[in-house]
Chain A
């Protein structure tokens, strides 16, 4: 199996000078293709920060972060944009565009890909929305969908581009137990089908059983693997 995420001796801190607040200390972690890894830990342990560095949203300066053979430490904006395009991101809130329908929201991922025709984009988006069980809600806008449905649309949006990695930041935080569990199971099922790597941050202990591996983070240090 190949390594898709390789982090070595990553240090990260907020602020500067006397106000420097270390968030991540000497993190080393390798994730293989197709693995589902959960990161848990109390609030403020640096989970989300770690995820945003992997996702190319935040610039880190010390250590090594290798994602899909791209070094993200001290990288240029282009490298980060390229990394983001290969990663599916699922946010704490659904973060859907409220002026667009479910179908259009999912298509937004594919609009960066010039190879596809409009028809292909629509077909693929519809296909994945059917796969997440929203075949009858294609033309609904976010305002007309429930919380669980919204999170399923955002899972579809993250997966439609067939990314090699999916990063999820507390995807169940705004959902009840039932729909939260359904959402992550769905994510797991779709990811396993396409050998997609999933890195999921959560402190929802109800969903730990979907993981291949659980990493616990506390005060910026990996406590237990």
Chain B
């Protein structure tokens, strides 16, 4: 159904995929220091896998991220988000309160539970968009 592209496109996309993935992870992790955060980094991660889907066809993208793995990871991201929010109630303060230790201003390990929120939502958005693409192209799931 969905064939790949020529040799030049396949080689370049295979060489570029780690850098795009690393850039998406950088946007997610530095969400509380530079412009970015969970939503923007998640879209960059989904675009990296989508580039592989265009260049290699269905089988190449399935080798990297399965359809079943994408659906499970989306629910995992949502669970991380809600669990971090419930941590506020367990400690004794309000729901969704910043309860982890703060650290010093401007370092990566600062701002309490904000990096955990960014990480959870980054996974959720990336695999959610990937599930939408896989469902529209009829990859995985259901019999035909």
Do A and B interact with each other, yes or no?
no
- Which of B's residues lie within 8 Å of A, judged by CB? none
- Which of A's residues lie within 8 Å of B, judged by CB? none
